[in-house]
Amino acid sequence: MIQVLAFYLFACLAVLSGALVVLSRNPVHSVLWLILAFFNAAGLMVLAGAEFIAMLLVIVYVGAVAVLFLFVVMMLNIDFAELRAGFIKNAPLGALVAVVLLVELLVVVILGQAGPVTLGTPDGSAAPLLGEGNTENIGALLYTRYIFLFELAGIVLLVSLIGAVVLTHRESRAIRAHQNIARQNARRPEDATELKQPESGKGVSL
Amino acid sequence: MEYLHSLSLVVPELILTVSGLIMVLFAAWGGAAASRAVSIACCVALGGAFALVAPSVCAGASGLETIAFFGQVRADAFAGFAKLLIYAAAGAALVVSSAYFEKRGAMRPEFPVLILFSALGASVMVSATDLIALYIGLELQSLAAYVLAAYLRDDDKSAEAGLKYFVLGALASGILLFGISLIYGFTGSTAFDAINVAMADGLSGGELFGLVFVLSAMAFKISAVPFHMWTPDVYEGAPTPVTMFFASAPKVAAVALLARLSLEAFGSQTAAWQQIVTFAALASIVVGALGAIGQENLKRLLAYSSINNVGFILIGLATASAAGAASMLLYLLFYVAMTVGSFVGLLLLRDADGNQLETFGDIKGLSTTRPALAWCLLAIMFSLAGIPPLMGFYAKLVVFQAAVEADLLPLAAIGIAASVIGAFYYLKFIKVMFFDEPVDRVQGKADTWHWVLLALSVLVISPLAWLATGWLGNLADLAAASLFIAG
């Protein structure tokens, strides 16, 4: 019963915040909603017995990816006065998201007191193996059974890295002004200046 | 033991991976000066992989001993046949790209490395017998392709092509993942054979949704109607050697993947996907034929031509039979030769300053100014139109034969009717080249390697290749049979 309640809480909030990611006009708000969506997805993962993926969602997605998004979105328009004004404007929403997260944390802690959560599929057939956490299971499978795909995923990341460099890196030598000291020292006054004595009343042609 | 056996089956992929990684290092330290050396080394790596795959195709490898990594990938003759085409097409793209990019001062050693990794992804795609392997292979191939499309980043059209391809490709990947998660959720497995077993006792709603989503995403990747809208824009905007690559290697991979997915994973529910594939086939043939008619730009025209050809290939798949799969492979073989030939021909159309010429206006009266080029293009266009005795006709013949044998007579009839419409714009090429007033804009100096490639592709589609049809047909039959022998 408690699990079902928690499931609907997390699921509704996930769908709602997911919709708000798309609907809100302010990109900073979108990222804040996204954080909430990630957090609720993590809650769902805990209910499904996949605590490792839940932790990944919180640590990697909320902790790193979403915060990076937030930085990038805020960097897009570097106007500090506006940024400060934006902070005050965004503060209520940020506080709201924070409060929701806090409430959810409390819910998890209180529900945790009520006994272990085993949900998986309705008939429990997909429940994790007994005796081992699924962190161990994932580790054992990832480096044995799925080693080929795991390494290939590494190649995918490498390709995205190469792609980013290919598309953005520029040889900056032509643009940046280099100080060539030897050339400066070799330059004589007569190379750079010219003395002319124009007759009075006439100009010089340069 | 298990791992050693598995590793021995993916040696071609390992060669591509290791040489790609080494080439990245050369690219990092060698800089632009190393471009040509890296290009050649990548060609050698592709050639090595080609040579390693060839014996398994000739032997018609199939069955249990081709299964690697617990059924995630399979190195059977079907995958081998597609891999040969992929490696050959990627090598051809490398051969013509050096000259093209050097002229624009944009040649860097990362280009061949990206082609190599894209070929690696394509090669994993065609071997995949698991949805995870399918997805990773597809992403590896597409991710490299997005970068390649935008490779000339100072060129507006190239940047636009890259962005369009990326955004739409990402959407297609999202749809694919959604479909995969539905299928996994409702069948309880990501392995093709397990999905097949799970679907054998009827298709639940979730499975049907998953199937439709996965097929839609695959239709995007092979640019089948109604998911073809990106093709003309991307093909026109991307640098021509990259367009040549897009129209050949990734397309072969995606078509082969779609065939394996439909016949192996969804093999027990043929009726569910057959109508989707039939619709996509007919729509692609008709839209490809009609859309090309008004085009002035030759690259856009060839993009519609590739949509049209994908339609014919899908007819082979729609039969859901071994003969159909074999006819798909044969069609793909000649399609790759015609695609490589036509794009190399386009690359040879350069004006006195070395700029590429891409419109019908530029090739008026080409037969008087550059007769050799005009005759080669004539052969390729006749072949694309399916006019005997060229091999384009044979390719269409085997596909229609498979369709008729599978009692899909209306499909074959509409296909033949639409191929007549398609013949219009292929013949327009010939009319413009042979019967219009010469404008003499094509001046560029010939490059030996371009001519070698052009001559090779014309040889493959020439009537001489009829001598090899028995052998090729046998290979394709063996390859298709390996698809139907359950592991």
Distance CA B84, CA B249 (A): 10
Which stretch of DSSP H or E encloses residue A5?
helix A2-23
Nearest-CA residue of chain B relative to A126? B188
| Burial of B232 (C-beta count, 10 Å sphere; 0-12/13-18/19+) | buried
CA–centroid distance for B235 within its chain: 13
CA distance A85 to chain B (A): 33
Is there a domain that residue A69 lies in?
yes
User: Which of B29, B139, B142, B155 to mutate: most A Cβ within 10 Å?
Assistant: B139
Q: Report the amino acid identity of residue B352.
A: A
Which pLDDT band holds residue B315 (cuts at 50, 70, 90)?
very high
* Sign of torsion over alpha carbons A8, A10, A11, A14: positive
Size of interface A-B (CB pairs under 8 A): 69
Does residue A182 sit within a domain? no
pLDDT at A117 over 70: no
Distance from CA of A157 to the nearest CA of B (A): 9
Q: Which domain holds residue B414?
A: 2-484
**A167·B147 Cβ contact <8 A:** yes
∠ CA A49-A55-A56 to the nearest 5 degrees? 115
Q: Are A30 and A111 part of one and the same domain?
A: yes
Indicate if the pLDDT at residue A49 is higher than 50.
Answer: yes
Confidence (pLDDT) at A174: 55
Closest C-alpha to B372, from B456, B451, B283: B451
What is the model's pLDDT at position B64? 82
Summarize the confidence of residues B119-142 as an average pLDDT: 95
Q: Which residues of A touch B135 (CB under 8 A)?
A: none
- Between positions 91 and 150 of B, the ones with CB within 8 A of A are 108, 110-111, 113-114, 117, 120-121, 124, 130, 132-133, 136-137, 139-140, 143-144, 146-147, 150
Q: What is the mean pLDDT of chain A?
A: 79
Chain A segment 153-172 residues within 8 A of B by beta carbon are 153, 155-156, 158-160, 162-163, 165-167
Mutate to test the interface with A, among B110, B178, B189 (most CBs of A within 10 A): B110
pLDDT confidence of B487, banded at 50, 70, 90? very low
CB contact under 8 A, B68 and A148: yes
Q: Give the best residue of A144, A162, A171, A172 to mutate against chain B (max B CB count within 10 A).
A: A162
A150–B contact, CB cutoff 8 A: no
Give per-residue pLDDT as tens, B224-278: 988 999 999 999 999 999 999 999 999 999 999 999 999 999 988 888 899 999 9
How many Cβ atoms are within 10 Å of B432's Cβ, its own excluded? 18
> Is the peptide bond prior to B226 cis by the omega test (within 30 degrees of 0)?
yes
Claim to verify: residue A157 and residue A62 sit in the same structural domain: no
Closest partner residue to A148 (CB to CB) among B20, B69, B146 is B69
pLDDT band of residue B22 (cuts 50, 70, 90) is very high
User: What percent of chain B has a predicted confidence (pLDDT) above 70?
Assistant: 99
Look at A166 and B120 and tell me if their CB atoms are within 8 Å: no
CB contact under 8 A, B110 and A155: no
**Containing structural domain, residue A142:** 133-173
**Minimal-distance CA residue of chain A relative to B144:** A159
User: In Å, what is the CA distance from B99 to each residue of A162, B23, B487?
Assistant: 22, 19, 45
A155 in the same domain as A69: no
Q: Which residue has the tokens 């995918």?
A: A156
Predicted confidence (pLDDT) per residue in B51-87, tens digit = 999 998 888 888 888 888 888 999 999 999 999 999 9
CA B152/CA A99 separation, integer angstroms: 48
Cα of B16 to nearest chain A Cα, Å: 11
Give the angle A174-A182-A184 at the CA atoms, nearest 5°: 80
Residue A188 lies in a domain: no
How many domains does chain B divide into? 1
Q: CB of A81 within 8 Å of any CB in chain B?
A: no
CA nearest to B416, candidates B432, B398, B400, B433: B400
Give domain status of residue A189, yes or no: no
Flag if A152 and B140 touch (Cβ within 8 Å). yes
Together in a domain, A64 and A165: no
pLDDT in tens, A74-93: 777 655 566 566 677 777 88
pLDDT at residue B400 is higher than 80: yes
B212 vs chain A: nearest CA distance in angstroms?
Answer: 23
B370 interfacial to chain A (CB closer than 8 Å): no
Region B182-197: mean pLDDT is 91
Environment class of B369 (CB within 10 Å of its CB; exposed 0-12, middle 13-18, buried 19+): middle
Q: Cβ(B157)–Cβ(B236) under 8 Å?
A: yes
Same domain, A41 and A91: yes
List chain A residues with CB under 8 Å of B1. Answer: none
Are residue A114 and residue A12 in the same domain, yes or no? yes
Virtual torsion, Cα B121, B122, B124, B126, nearest 10 deg: 160
d(CA B402, CA B320): 10
Q: Which residue has the higher pLDDT, A176 or A6?
A: A6
Give a yes or no: residue A26 inside a domain. yes
* Structure tokens given for B52: 């390693």
Binary contact (A153, B136; C-beta < 8 A):
yes
Q: Is A102 on the interface with B (CB under 8 A)?
A: no
Q: Which residues of A touch B69 (CB under 8 A)?
A: 145-149
Residue of A nearest to B147 (CA): A163
B74 backbone dihedrals φ, ψ, rounded to 5°: -140, 130
Residue A40 C-beta-side C-alpha neighbours within 13 Å: 22
pLDDT confidence of A122, banded at 50, 70, 90?
very low
Q: How much is the ipTM here? A: 0.91
Check pLDDT > 70 for residue B170: yes
To test the contact with chain B by mutation, choose from A166, A168, A169, A173 the residue with the greatest count of B C-beta atoms within 10 A, namely A166
In whole angstroms, give the CA distance from residue A45 to residue B471: 55
Question: What mean pLDDT value characterizes chain B?
Answer: 91
CB nearest A162 (choices: B17, B24, B153): B24
Residue A159 to residue B143, Cβ atoms within 8 A: yes
pLDDT at A45: 86
pTM of the model: 0.87
Token reading at B61: 């490898």
Do residues A104 and A151 share a domain? no
* A33 and A104 co-located in one domain: yes
CB–CB contact A166 B108 (8 Å): yes
Summarised one tens digit per residue, pLDDT across range B449-458 is 889 999 999 9
Higher pLDDT pick, A149 / A141: A149
Pair A72, A98 in one domain: yes
- Report DSSP letters for B346-396, one per residue: HHT-B-TTSPBP-BGGGGTTHHHH-HHHHHHHHHHHHHHHT-TTSHHHHHH
Distance from CA of B450 to the nearest CA of A (A): 26
Same domain, yes or no: A15 and A113: yes
CA atoms of B231 and B115, how far apart (whole Å): 19
Please judge whether A149 and B136 are an interchain contact, meaning their C-beta atoms are less than 8 angstroms apart: yes
Kindly state whether residues A104 and A154 are assigned to the same domain: no
Q: Are residues A37 and A79 in the same domain?
A: yes
Domains in chain A, number: 2
What pLDDT digit, counting tens, does each position of B116-126 carry? 999 999 999 99
Query: What CATH number has the domain bearing residue A6?
Result: 1.20.120.1200
CA distances from residue B290 to A204, B32, B301, B419 in whole angstroms, order as listed: 71, 43, 11, 10
Q: How far apart are CA B392 and CA B313, in angstroms?
A: 12
Nearest in space to A57 (alpha carbons), one of A39, A81, A74, A70 = A39
Q: Does the distance separating the beta carbons of B140 and A155 come in below 8 Å? A: yes
